[in-house]
Structure 1
Amino acid sequence: MSIIYIDGNSLTLEDLVKVARENYKVELTKEAIARVNKSRALVDEFVDGGEVIYGITTGFGLFSDVVISKDQTKELQKNLIVSDACGVGNPYPEEVVRAVMLLRANALSKGYSGIRLSVLNTLIEMLNKGVHPIIPEKGSVGASGDLCPLAHMVLVMLGEGEAIYQGKRLSGKDAMDKAKIDKVELISKEGLALINGTQVLTAVGALAAYDAKKLTKLADIAAAMTAEALNGIVDAYDEKVQQVRPHNGQIICAQNMLKILNGSKSTSRQGEIRVQDAYTLRCVPQIHGASRDAIDYVVDRVSTEINSATDNPLIFADDRQVISGGNFHGQPMALAFDFLGIAVAELANVSERRIDRLVNPSSSGLPAFLVKNGGLNCGFMIPQYVAAALVSENKVLAHPACVDSIPTSANQEDHVSMGSISARKSREILNNVMNVLAIEIMTSAQAIDFGAVEKLAPATRAAYDKIREEVATLENDRIMYLDINKCFKLVSSHKLVEIVEEEIGELK
C-alpha cells in the first residue's frame, strides 16, 4: 500500500499529486502526533482557566470582543461551521477536494492549531476511505482563510452536508455511515482550526502549477514541430545566444529545442532560406523561457505554503502562548496564482501566432489553410479561429484578481486577497492553453504532410507518428472537434511528451 506520511513540514508537490490523483493513503508521523496532543493540552488548560482568547472563548470577526462561556464552546464551534457553509457554484472536482483535505490535515499536523488528534484522524480517515465532501467553487475571499469552502468540508465530518462516496452523491451522514467513520462533535477552537486557512485556494493553484510545469515541455515540442514545418532557423537556439542573457528558463528551453530538433533535415541555418525567422519561432527560448521561470517561482511559493500553519490564533505550546496573527491571509498565493495565469496564457499567445503562420499562405509558403482543394474545403481555417477565441478569453481571465479587495465582517477584515479566484482563473487559463497547443500540434502535423515526413528529426517524427495514430491527414473537410479532442488528450495526459522522451531522453 502506497502511503504518504505527513508531519506539516515535508510535504512535496509530487506527494500532493499522488494523494489527489493516485489515491495514496495518508498517515501522521509520531512526531506530528506528539505536537498535536501538546497543542491541544494547552488549549484545554486555557479554557479550563477561563482565559479570554480569540476564537476559543470569544466570537469571530467583529464579534471578537464577545466572550463565550465554557459551556457554550461546543455550540460556538458548530455555529461557525453551519453559518459559514454557504458556498455557491459547481462543486470542485474530487482531485481538488482530496488535495484540500490533505493540505488541511498537513497544516493541522504542524501542531499550532489546537485541534484534538481524534478530529484530525477523522479527516484523514475520510481521505483514506474516499469520503469526498461536496465543496462549491465560489464563496471565498481568500482572507480569513477559505472559510466558506472549508466549512463545507467540515459539515460532512459532523454528519451534515453532502459527499461523494464510491461514485454516489450522498448526504454527509449517509456517506460517513457507509464508510464506517465516526462523526465528530467539535469543542473549543476546533471549528476555527478546521476552516481558518488557505488550503482550498492553494490546492486548486498547486495542481494547476504542477500541470503547467509539465506543459512547458509540450509547448517546446509543439514549437519544434512548427519550426520544422516552416523550415525554421536553428541558429537562434544556439547556446552562445542564451549564455549572454542567462535566464534559466531561456537556457533550458533553447536546450530542449536543439535536442528535439537534432537530426532534422527540415530545419535551416541562418541565410540558407532567409536571414531571420519571425519572433514566434526565433524567440521561443525567450518567450517559453520566461513562462518557465514564472512557473518555477509559483511552484516554489506552493512548496512553502503547503507546509505552513495558516490559521488564527496560533498555539505555541512550547512558549505557552496563543497569538492572533494573519497567516490566513491569501495574498502570498493570490499574487503567485495570478502570475501563474499570466505566465501560462503566454504559452497560448505565442502558440496561436504560430498556428496562424502555418495556415496563412503569405507567411508559410504552403497551401492556404493547409488543404489541397481550398475553396471547396475550408481546411484548417476554423481551428485558428478557435485558438484565437481561447487566447482572447485568456486575456480577460489573466486580469489579476488580487488587486481587488472588498472589506468583509463589517470592515474588521478590511483587506482580502481574492486568492481563490486567482487560483480558479489560473486553472481555467491552463485548460484553454492545452486546447490551443492541441490545435498547434494537429496543425503542424498537417503542414508537415506538405513537406517530407522522412526529413523530420527522430523526436518530432515520434510525435508526428503518435498524432497520426489518433488523427488522420485532412484530405477533405470533416468534423474537426473530434480531432481536436483527441489531440487535447495527447496534451493533457502528457503522452506526447513521454513518447518524445522515449526517443531522445528526458527533456528539462
Structure 2
Amino acid sequence: MAHLAEVRKSWAFYEKHLKGNGMVVLDGEKNSLKLAQIVVVSRLSSETSLLQSDSISKRVQESIDTLESHLRNGEDVYGVNTGCGGNANTRTEKLEMLQKAFLQHHQAGILPGTPGLNGCNYALPLDVVRGAILIRCNSLLRGHSAVRMEVIELLRQALNCNITPLIPLRGSISASGDLSPLSYIGGLVEGNPDIFVHVRQNEANATERDKVVSAADALHQSNITPLTLKAKEALGVMNGTAPSAAAAALTLYDTNNLTILTQLLTAMATEALLGSVDNYHDFISQCRPHTGQMEVANNIRSFLIGSQLSRKMHFKQQGLVQDRYALRTAPQWIGPQVEDLLAANCQITTELNSSTDNPLIDVPGDRFHHGGNFQAASVTSAMEKTRTALVMLGRLVVSQCQEIINPSTNKGLPPNLCLDNPSLSFTCKGIDINMSSYFSELAFLSNSIPSHVHTAEMNNQSVNSLALIAARYAAQSADIVTMMCAAHLYVLCQALDLRALEKDFFDAIKPCLSSLFDELFQSSGVAGNFENVWSLITTSWHAHSESDIDSRCEKVSKHCAHAIFDDLMSTGATPSLYVSVQKWKSSVTSVLSQAHERTHHQFTMHPSTPDYLALSTKEIYLFVRQTLRVPLHRGLVDHPEASDSDKTKKTIGTNITQIYTAISNGRITGALQKATQEANLTS
C-alpha cells in the first residue's frame, strides 16, 4: 500500500474520534490494533471497551487453567514458582508473594517532584503511558499470559477514567520487556499508595483541575477495587514491550504526517523559487522505479496542479538551467524514507498485536514456552528507520529554507524576505540561524542507539534492545522536525507573498513601460524590441534585490538606459535619441517607484497570493494566514513596543510557535487532508 493511502486511513480514524464519534474496541485478535487507535486513546482520551465475546473470555481462562494444571503437577514455571532473570535458580511456593516481589524491585525509578506535577519532565509522557496500558490490555486478551479478565478490565477502566500512572522516564533497557515502566502500571492495579497517578478531569468537570494522587486514592475515587495479583499476573503485566511500542506508535504517526507535510512544503518551495514542475516528471521515476520515489514525485507534481508560479521546462532561460538539489532531487531524497516508514509501520503494527511476555502459555499444546518475545529489537529497528527518515527530512527542509532566505539563490526575492528596505530589516535572518541549530541537534539525535547496548542483570540480559530509549529519541527528533517544518512554513508563506507582490508589481508596470517605450523610441528602429527591454527590467530588478527601494528603482532604470543606448549606438543614434534615453531613465525610475508604493499598499490590504498558488498549496497557505491568523511580516513596523497601542503585533517567534502548535497537536491535519484531496490523489 502507498504511504499516503496508509496515512489517509489514519487521518480518517483520527478525525472521527476528534468529533467524539467511535470507541476503540479491544479483542486481542491479529492486526486489530492500529497506530491511529493508539493515538486517539492516548491523546484524545477516546473511550475503550472489551469485545463482549465468550471466545475471548474462554481463551483467557484456558491459559490460566493450563498454567494451574502444570503447577499442580509440580512443574517449575519461570517467574511463577522460580526467581527471575539470573536468580531463576531459586524456587518458592509463595506464588502471590513472589509477584509482589517482582513489582517491588522494579519500582526503583527516579521521579523528582512526586506527588506534585513539577516532576513531569522526569516522567514518561502521559500519552505514552496511556498507549502502553491499551497495548498491554490487547496483548493480555490474546490468552497467552494467564492474566485474569478482572486485571485487564481494571486497566481498561482506569484508561476510561483518565487515570494514568506517573512512570519514570528512564530505567528501561527493553530487554525482558519494559520491566520498570510496566511495574508502575502493576502498582496501579494493586492500588499501591506510593505509586502516583495523574487524573485528568473530563470536560464536564472543567471547573476542577487535573491532579496527582496516589493509585489507592485514584481507584477509590473512581469506585474501582484494587486487585491482589495472583500467580504469574505481575509478570504478565510487567514482562512486555508495551511502553516501547506505544512510544514508537505515537512517534511513527507523527513522522508519517511530517513526511506528507514535507512533500507539500517542497511543492510550496517550488513555487516560491519559481522552480520547475518537471523536477517531478513521471518519466524520471520510470527510469529509476523505486516505489517511494515514484509516489513522492507523483504527490509533489499533483500538489502543483494549478500553480501560476511553478514553471514547465524552458530550453532557453536565464540563470541556472535546472533547479538546485533541494527541489530537483526531493523525490529521490524523500522516497527511501517513505519506504522505510512503511516497513516501520508493519513492524509496529505487528508489535501492537503480539504476545510479548515470557513464559507463553500454549493452550492447544498444553504446555508453556520459555522464550524471548519481550526482546523489543523490532521496535528498535523501526525507530532507527524513523530517526533516519526524520534527519533526512530535516536536512531537506533546512536546505530549502536557507535557499529561499538567501538573496543569492532565491531568484530575486529580498534578502531575508523583508517586505521593507533591507538596510534596516532582517526578517528571516534569525530563522536561518535557528534552523542550523535545530538541524545540528537533530543530526546528533540520529546516532545509532543499539550500538550502545551494555550487559545487565547478572549478565543474564547480555543483549538488550534499548527500544524505549530509541523511541524516546525518535520522539525528540520528530519534535525538532516539527519545529523546522513550522519555521519553514512561516518562511514559505512570507516568500509566496513576496513573489505574488512581485507579480502584481510587474503586471502594473509592464503596460506603462511598454507605452512609454513605444512613445519615446517609435522612430528609432528599436520600438518593436520592448520584450527584450522588459527582460532586462525584470532581470535587473532581481539582481538589485539587496538595495533599498529608491536605490533599486534608480539602478534598474540606469541599467536599462545603458542597454538601450548601446543598442541605439549600433544603429546610428541621433542627438534627439539621447534625449529620449534620458527621458526614459527618469520616467522609469518614477514609474517603478510609484507603482511599487501603490501595489505594496494594495497588497498589504488585499493579498493576491492565493490567486497564484496551486490548489493544494493554497490550502496550506490559507491555513496559516486565515485559520491561524499568522500575518505577512511587514518589517520593522511589526515590532511590538511598550508604547504601541496595537496589541496584535507579535514577535516572529510567537507566530512560528502558533504554526508549531498546530502541527504538533494535529490541528493542521484537516488542511493536509484537503490539500491531498485537491491534488486528486487516489493512491
Name which of 484, 489, 500 aligns with 2:675: 500
CA distance in 1, matches of 2:423, 2:357: 63
SS of alignment partner, residue 169 of structure 2: strand
Name which of 33, 48, 65 aligns with 1:25: 48
Percent identity between matched residues is 29
User: Residue 172 of structure 1 corresponds to which residue in structure 2?
Assistant: 215
Question: Which deviates more, 170-179 or 265-274?
Answer: 265-274
The CA deviation at 1:506 is 5.4
User: Residue 10 of structure 2 corresponds to which residue in structure 1?
Assistant: none
SS of alignment partner, residue 498 of structure 2: coil
- The answer on 1:49 being equivalent to 2:73 is yes
User: Residue 96 of structure 2 corresponds to which residue in structure 1?
Assistant: 74
What letter corresponds to residue 47 of structure 2 in structure 1?
A: Y
CA distance in 2, matches of 1:87, 1:137: 8
SS of alignment partner, residue 44 of structure 1: helix
SS of alignment partner, residue 243 of structure 1: helix
Alpha-carbon contact 2:299-2:681 (below 8 Å) kept: no
User: Residue 164 of structure 2 corresponds to which residue in structure 1?
Assistant: 132
Which residues of 2 match residues 201-220 of structure 1 at below 5 A? 201-220=244-263
Gaps of 5+ in 2: 1-21, 112-121, 202-209, 501-608, 640-650
TM-score (norm 2): 0.72
What letter corresponds to residue 476 of structure 1 in structure 2?
A: G
Name which of 288, 295, 308 aligns with 2:334: 288
Name which of 424, 429, 433 aligns with 1:385: 433
User: Residue 457 of structure 1 corresponds to which residue in structure 2?
Assistant: 614
The CA deviation at 1:499 is 4.2
Alpha-carbon contact 1:348-1:433 (below 8 Å) kept: yes
Which one has a bigger Cα radius of gyration?
2
Question: Which deviates more, 325-334 or 84-93?
Answer: 84-93
Spell out, residue by residue over 1:11-62, the C-alpha distance to the aligned partner (whole angstroms, 9 max, x if none): 2222222322331312145222211100001112222332211111100011
Name which of 282, 285, 307 aligns with 1:242: 285
Name which of 62, 65, 70 aligns with 1:38: 62
Spell out, residue by residue over 1:120-172, the C-alpha distance to the aligned partner (whole angstroms, 9 max, x if none): 22222222222211122211001010000011111111111111223211101
- The answer on 1:162 being equivalent to 2:209 is no
Alpha-carbon contact 1:91-1:135 (below 8 Å) kept: yes
Spell out, residue by residue over 1:476-508, the C-alpha distance to the aligned partner (whole angstroms, 9 max, x if none): 243211011111133332243134246445575
CA distance in 1, matches of 2:225, 2:681: 47
Question: Which deviates more, 264-273 or 177-186?
Answer: 264-273
Alpha-carbon contact 2:248-2:383 (below 8 Å) kept: yes
User: Residue 106 of structure 2 corresponds to which residue in structure 1?
Assistant: 84
Spell out, residue by residue over 1:293-333, the C-alpha distance to the aligned partner (whole angstroms, 9 max, x if none): 11111111011111111101111121111111111001111
Name which of 413, 429, 453 aligns with 1:366: 413
- The answer on 1:310 being equivalent to 2:334 is no
Alpha-carbon contact 2:380-2:465 (below 8 Å) kept: yes
CA distance in 2, matches of 1:385, 1:310: 45
Question: Which deviates more, 390-399 or 272-281?
Answer: 272-281
Spell out, residue by residue over 1:248-276, the C-alpha distance to the aligned partner (whole angstroms, 9 max, x if none): 22111111111111111211222345421
Q: 1:3 to 1:440 in 2, by over 3 A?
A: closer
Post-superposition, which runs of at least 4 consecutive aligned residues in structure 1 deviate over 3 A?
271-274, 501-508
What letter corresponds to residue 327 of structure 2 in structure 1?
A: L
- The answer on 1:5 being equivalent to 2:26 is yes
RMSD over aligned Cα, in angstroms? 1.6
Alpha-carbon contact 2:413-2:499 (below 8 Å) kept: no
SS of alignment partner, residue 315 of structure 1: strand
User: Residue 321 of structure 2 corresponds to which residue in structure 1?
Assistant: 275
CA distance in 2, matches of 1:318, 1:34: 13
Alpha-carbon contact 1:404-1:417 (below 8 Å) kept: no
User: Residue 512 of structure 2 corresponds to which residue in structure 1?
Assistant: none
What letter corresponds to residue 124 of structure 1 in structure 2?
A: R
What letter corresponds to residue 339 of structure 1 in structure 2?
A: K
Q: 1:252 to 1:360 in 2, by over 3 A?
A: same
Alpha-carbon contact 1:131-1:179 (below 8 Å) kept: no
What letter corresponds to residue 377 of structure 2 in structure 1?
A: Q
CA distance in 2, matches of 1:65, 1:495: 57
CA distance in 1, matches of 2:461, 2:613: 59
Name which of 464, 471, 478 aligns with 1:423: 471
Alpha-carbon contact 2:303-2:676 (below 8 Å) kept: no
SS of alignment partner, residue 144 of structure 2: coil
Q: 1:116 to 1:466 in 2, by over 3 A?
A: closer
CA distance in 1, matches of 2:29, 2:238: 16
CA distance in 1, matches of 2:24, 2:635: 52
SS of alignment partner, residue 88 of structure 2: helix
What letter corresponds to residue 635 of structure 2 in structure 1?
A: N
CA distance in 1, matches of 2:29, 2:155: 15
SS of alignment partner, residue 80 of structure 2: coil
What letter corresponds to residue 338 of structure 1 in structure 2?
A: E
User: Residue 7 of structure 2 corresponds to which residue in structure 1?
Assistant: none
CA distance in 1, matches of 2:670, 2:493: 16
What letter corresponds to residue 311 of structure 1 in structure 2?
A: D
CA distance in 1, matches of 2:258, 2:237: 33
User: Residue 561 of structure 2 corresponds to which residue in structure 1?
Assistant: none
User: Residue 394 of structure 1 corresponds to which residue in structure 2?
Assistant: 442
CA distance in 1, matches of 2:677, 2:361: 50
Alpha-carbon contact 1:8-1:108 (below 8 Å) kept: no
User: Residue 357 of structure 1 corresponds to which residue in structure 2?
Assistant: 403
SS of alignment partner, residue 386 of structure 1: helix
Alpha-carbon contact 2:305-2:679 (below 8 Å) kept: no
- The answer on 1:474 being equivalent to 2:474 is no
Q: 1:95 to 1:467 in 2, by over 3 A?
A: same
The CA deviation at 1:94 is 2.5
User: Residue 548 of structure 2 corresponds to which residue in structure 1?
Assistant: none
The CA deviation at 1:441 is 1.1
Question: Which deviates more, 497-506 or 169-178?
Answer: 497-506
Which residues of 2 match residues 177-192 of structure 1 at below 5 A? 177-192=220-235
SS of alignment partner, residue 169 of structure 1: strand
The CA deviation at 1:192 is 0.7
Question: Which deviates more, 9-18 or 256-265?
Answer: 9-18
SS of alignment partner, residue 318 of structure 1: coil
Q: 1:421 to 1:475 in 2, by over 3 A?
A: same
CA distance in 2, matches of 1:318, 1:462: 55
CA distance in 1, matches of 2:455, 2:222: 41
What letter corresponds to residue 366 of structure 2 in structure 1?
A: R
User: Residue 145 of structure 1 corresponds to which residue in structure 2?
Assistant: 177
TM-score (norm 1): 0.96
What letter corresponds to residue 238 of structure 1 in structure 2?
A: H
User: Residue 241 of structure 2 corresponds to which residue in structure 1?
Assistant: 198
The CA deviation at 1:87 is 2.5
What letter corresponds to residue 196 of structure 2 in structure 1?
A: E
CA distance in 2, matches of 1:502, 1:88: 48
CA distance in 2, matches of 1:184, 1:506: 52
Spell out, residue by residue over 1:305-362, the C-alpha distance to the aligned partner (whole angstroms, 9 max, x if none): 1111110111112111111111100111112111111112211111001010011011
